[in-house]
Chain A
Amino acid sequence: MKRAYMDHAAATPVRPEVMEAMLPFFVERFGNPSAVYDLGSAIKAVMEEQRGKVARLIGARDDEIIFTSSGAEANNLAIKGLAQATFLKRGRHLIVSGIEHHSVLNSARFLEKFFDFEVTFLPVDRYGRVDPDRLKQALTPATVMVSIGHGSNEIGTVQDIPELVAVCRAAGVAFHTDAVATVGQVPVDVKELGVDLLTISGPALGAPKGIGALYFRNKLRLVPQLNGGIQESGRRGGTENIPGIVGLGRAAELAWQELDETAIYLTKLRDLLIAGVRKHITHVFYTGHPEKRLPGHASFCFEGIEGEALIFMLSSRGVYANTGSACASKALKTSPVLGAIGIRPEVAQGSLVFTLSRDNREEEVQHVLAHLPPAVERLRSFSPVWRKKMTEAAGA
């Protein structure tokens, strides 16, 4: 059976070049980078080389990169680490958007619950964008930081970060962005964005799970969230995941070399998929911004069906997509992101998200388009709600 895997926001295979770079560091080159003898210092040099590659991808300095175990850990370190380092001087107010990843939302809620922070969850417009004026109104003298994601893995919208940063900079408030969805897909330069902190995930670039990184503007103080030794210059304890770091370094190097062609290629595939869905399926909402969106992201809500049923039906035909974020999907909960952009709950039930990668081919898009319309039609034929709607429409 043909297969079309298009759930790369949930998991991405490790790139062969990345795997090849990592292999020596499991057995032959196993030294601890903190060790002072040559087996250790050589590994330390390799680690610093990778830090440079990650820094180059986002226009940062080498010493502005902290390796973490994931994007989620980087988000935790950015938000809790900066908030805990600054609340005594500034206050206990934090701003996030309502459509952030759980690692951002729950870090904010952690501060709310255990550190008496007040958290403002900013609304977004129908495309998922934050209004700079609303952000400006939400700032208070006690605001320690603002965290707004660069790109949404659920609806594909890319936020206008420089515009939002300008508002915060004028007020002297630090700005963090979760760029897990964008790094490697669109150009991301920390100086151009103007952010103080930025989160990267390894798997999103074709590195293995278990590695991520946080950019922090030089001189920024962070309270470590993983207490331990002097790893990562005393900012994050725990012996470094050297194979993972080498994987992330190689993946960052490849992403930097291929960035322009990746964006062009993914945009072409995405637009083919969207055009096909629009041509063959009626009563479908296209979620997120039509232009300012991730090149490899297509997200829809089909009226009259449940996304989970569609996922299962499609997977039996070798088509793999998601209903939203991997976590929300498993809990069978309606996505708060879709609620935040004003999608009615009964329509949000029919959410389907495709996240593409360089591995996808046009034939796979055709495979999706061959199976998606009949699957939607079949599920709608089972739905009493859909039948009622159609009957009413026919009578009107």
Chain B
Amino acid sequence: MKFLTECKADATADLVYRACPMHLLEPMELIKDLKPGQVLEILTDYDGALEDIPAWCAKHGQEFLGISEDACGDCYKLYIKKQSEEKS
């Protein structure tokens, strides 16, 4: 897992406290609206996201940039860089 100290995002999906698998479903929708090269930030308190998000990126041809700890410690921040239109 790559840890990031700082990462600027073009859009944010706040999935904190929301039921699994919203941590996959909402980012899948939001990334459609981004242009290649833009970054999506995902906020989640779901531990399983640490495996699911990189795996989803690998499967769908997106670049998983890494993770940073939220300053307040109540959620994870994960970053995806859009590479191309999503492969379904």
Q: Which residues of A contact B (CB under 8 A)?
A: 85, 88-89, 219, 221-224, 227-230, 233-235, 237
Contact = CB atoms under 8 A, between A and B. Distances in A.
Contacts of B61: none
B19 A230 contact: yes
17 contacts: A85-B16, A88-B72, A88-B74, A89-B74, A221-B16, A222-B17, A224-B19, A229-B19, A230-B19, A230-B20, A230-B21, A230-B25, A233-B22, A234-B19, A234-B22, A235-B17, A237-B19
Contacts of B26: 233
B14 A219 contact: yes
B17 A230 contact: no
Contact of B22 (A85, A89, A221, A230): A230
B40 interface: no
Contacts of A85: 16-17
Nearest to A89: B72
Interface string B48-88: 00000000000000000000000010100000000000000
A85 to B, nearest CB: 6
Nearest to A236: B19
A139 B15 CA distance: 29
Nearest to A85: B17
B15 A234 contact: yes
B26 to A, nearest CB: 8
Contacts of B16: 85, 221
Contacts of B18: 224, 233-235
Interface string B14-42: 11111111100110000000000000000
A39 B71 CA distance: 44
Contacts of B74: 88-89
Interface residues of B, number: 13
A229 B26 CA distance: 14
A228 B20 CA distance: 9
Given A219-B14, A221-B14, A228 B72 contact: no
A227 B72 CA distance: 24
Given A85-B16, A224-B19, 19 more contacts: A85-B17, A219-B14, A221-B16, A221-B17, A222-B17, A223-B17, A224-B17, A224-B18, A228-B19, A229-B19, A230-B22, A233-B18, A233-B26, A234-B18, A234-B19, A234-B20, A235-B17, A235-B18, A237-B19
* Residue with the highest number of chain A CB atoms closer than 10 Å, among B14, B18, B72: B18
Residue from B14, B17, B19, B21 with most neighbouring chain A CB atoms (10 Å): B19
B74 to A, nearest CB: 6
Nearest to B18: A234
A237 B20 CA distance: 11
Contacts of A223: 17
Contacts of A88: 72, 74
Nearest to B16: A221
A236 B86 CA distance: 29
Nearest to B17: A223
Interface centre among A88, A219, A233, by most chain B C-beta atoms within 10 angstroms, is A233
A17 B17 CA distance: 38
Nearest to A220: B14
A219 B11 CA distance: 13
A227 B21 CA distance: 13
B13 to A, nearest CB: 11
Contacts of B19: 224, 227-230, 234-235, 237
A57 to B, nearest CB: 25
A195 to B, nearest CB: 20
A69 to B, nearest CB: 17
Contacts of A222: 17
Contacts of B15: 234
A172 to B, nearest CB: 15
A222 B15 CA distance: 10
Interface centre among A221, A224, A233 (most CB of B within 10 A): A221
B32 to A, nearest CB: 16
A231 to B, nearest CB: 8
Contacts of A89: 72, 74
A-B pairs with the 6 shortest C-beta distances? A234-B18, A234-B22, A234-B19, A223-B17, A221-B16, A230-B22
B18 to A, nearest CB: 3
A239 B72 CA distance: 34
Contacts of A229: 19
Contacts of B72: 88-89
